[in-house]
A and B are shown apart, each in its own frame.
Chain A
Amino acid sequence: MEKFVTVEKVGQTFDTKKGKFVALRDIDLSIAQGEFVTLIGHSGCGKSTLLNLIAGLTQPSIGVLLCDGREIGGPGPERAVVFQNHSLLPWLTSFENVHLAVERVFGAKEGKAKLRDRTHAALELVGLTPAAHKYPHEISGGMKQRVGIARALSMQPKVLLMDEPFGALDALTRARLQDELMKICDATKATTVMVTHDVDEAVLLSDRIVMMTNGPAATIGEVLKVELPRPRNRLDLAHDARYIDYRAAVLEFLYDKQAGHKLAA
């Protein structure tokens, strides 16, 4: 398995008014090309902190992160992020939001018509062609999140980073978007890291589930390899013994081994 993203001995400390706060320590993780990895853990365990580190939005206090053999020095379009709250620019239409990204990544080499084609293709991929010229406030939460995904995919990133992308959606919309995401990832072979706190989502989507211990000073507790054949179907999996075992393993980690957080909260 070739390492594509590597996290080596990474720790993250924040300066707060009460002194230093250790958010993450001793994180070692490597992700292969085309792999789908989810980070799961209780809230406050530093999943998003780790994702931001891979994105380059923050710098680690110690340790090093590599992507495709190069140190991650800052954010960039080769590591596209789908933000938790979609983060669409409200003064741009869906089309324009995606086009801004396309223009940035391909604008130097490609003509206007090609850029438009790319934008339309990305919106079509998430089934949003009819809403292309609507503004974010005119479309539903699920559609906004899909525009966010289209924007990220349109950049043809080496790594797709998703921070609880479906967290704010209702269960039905979430299930539909998970299915769409699986299809897209199968088609594009995108290397994906997703933060989630939804056990079913993690098992359904992942090749590996990285389970994190509770903060402060959170680290990786266990890593579970999910060896379910693809394409996966949520209905079939519901009765699959392996699926049920994987699910139980994650639940056990979260609510038995890491239950302290829940009790404290």
Chain B
Amino acid sequence: MDAMTMDTPAILPAMAESGRKMAMPRAVPAALKPAAGAGAALQAPTGGGATPGDAGKAGLAAASERAEKLRAFLKAVLPPLIGFGVFIGIWYLATLKASGLPGPVQTWKAASVLFADPFYSNGPNDQGIGWNVLSSLKRVAVGFGFAALAGIPLGFILGRFAFMSAMINPLISLLRPVSPLAWLPIGLLVFQKADPAATWTIFICSIWPMIINTAVGVQRVPQDYLNVARVLALPEWQVMTRILFPAVLPYMLTGIRLSIGTAWLVIVAAEMLTGGVGIGFWVWDEWNNLKVEHIIIAIFVIGIVGLLLEQFLVMLAKRFTYENT
């Protein structure tokens, strides 16, 4: 105890000082903060007139905390910024010589024109990039929605009944590795139109992760929870709503995340084949127009939209994942 009260005041100013210079190793303040607080508390009764010193210390502590926050912020932001910087640099150097490929500056200029009016519409074959992205998202949403409607109940059935699982699993194993684009002609044949055929490929690629993850989730519901249900003699629908559904939800959300990720990959290819309005078609159209800078912009837009979808679903999954301890 004594050693601590003697040590901490000596360390504290030094710590705050180095904190202001921002040269302090990151682990030190976290380790010392509680000790410093305890030191101040223990000192107050013994050292009678320590008030001005304490106030000064508090100020220094606040300063060091601000420095700490700034450092954490820089540590989070700096490496990605450098990464992007290096990427753009390499891109710039690579496009100095190769004539066909537009460089960062050219792309930026094209982008500012493009995003000045993303929602224009000059007929079905000439629409703003905003409309193209939205119609791709709509196809993904519809295809995925149907996949969820079919896949989640099917996953529950497969997870709950071993017979159904043994019956359907080989079929899923066979069909899952098939590129969803192989199903596109079937969709064209059945629906006789390009638009529902593209949605159909999204349905096909989304449904597998939904079924599989839901089924795994149902199978992994801890026996303890089911025993609770049995002791309480819960009716089957309450077992579903109060026990199975919440227990399976995190797995289902993983399925949704994988599905949407794949769907967003597939939609670009599907739209290249089917045409109409959509970001995939737009990429192909701009290739025909030889506006390569627009293709590069599209690549970024597709990436950003995919990232946002992913982040949103991760957030959703966090909200519904229960710590089980």
Contacts and interface: CB of A to CB of B under 8 A. Distances in A.
Interface of A: 55, 57, 74-77, 79-81, 83, 85, 87, 89-91, 100-101, 104-105, 135-137, 155
Which 10 A-B pairs rank lowest in CB-CB distance, beginning with the nearest? A137-B323, A90-B322, A87-B224, A91-B246, A75-B230, A75-B231, A104-B232, A90-B324, A91-B322, A81-B231
Contacts of A83: 224, 227-228
A137 B324 CA distance: 6
B71 interface: no
A81 B228 CA distance: 8
29 contacts: A57-B227, A57-B230, A57-B231, A76-B231, A77-B231, A77-B233, A81-B227, A81-B231, A83-B227, A83-B228, A85-B224, A87-B224, A87-B227, A87-B228, A89-B228, A89-B242, A89-B243, A89-B246, A90-B324, A91-B246, A91-B247, A100-B242, A101-B232, A104-B232, A104-B238, A135-B322, A137-B323, A137-B324, A155-B232
A90 B232 contact: no
A209 B66 CA distance: 63
A38 to B, nearest CB: 20
A89 B225 contact: yes
Given A87-B224, A89-B225, A79 B231 contact: yes
B47 to A, nearest CB: 37
B62 interface: no
A55 B225 CA distance: 15
B325 interface: yes
Contacts of A137: 322-325
A81 B232 CA distance: 9
B316 interface: no
A104 B227 CA distance: 15
Contacts of A80: 231
Nearest to B242: A100
Given A83-B224, A85-B224, A100-B242, A90 B323 contact: yes
Interface of B is mostly: helix
A104 B233 contact: yes
Interface residues of B, number: 19
Interface of A is mostly: loop
B234 interface: yes
B246 A104 contact: no
Nearest to A87: B224
Contacts of A91: 246-247, 322
Given A57-B227, A83-B227, A137-B325, 15 more contacts: A75-B230, A76-B231, A77-B232, A81-B227, A81-B231, A83-B224, A83-B228, A87-B227, A89-B242, A90-B322, A90-B324, A104-B238, A136-B325, A137-B323, A137-B324
A136 B324 CA distance: 8
Given A91-B322, A136-B325, A74 B232 contact: no
Nearest to A76: B233
Contact of A100 (B224, B232, B324): B232
A57 B225 CA distance: 13
A83 B225 CA distance: 10
B270 to A, nearest CB: 38
A87 B323 contact: no
Contacts of A155: 232
A81 B234 CA distance: 14
B43 to A, nearest CB: 33
A81 B223 CA distance: 14
A93 to B, nearest CB: 12
Interface in B233-251: 233-234, 238, 242-243, 246-247
A186 B121 CA distance: 80
Contacts of A76: 231, 233
Contacts of B232: 77, 100-101, 104-105, 155
A100 B324 CA distance: 19
Interface in B297-325: 322-325
A84 to B, nearest CB: 9
A229 to B, nearest CB: 33
A89 B231 CA distance: 14
B103 to A, nearest CB: 52
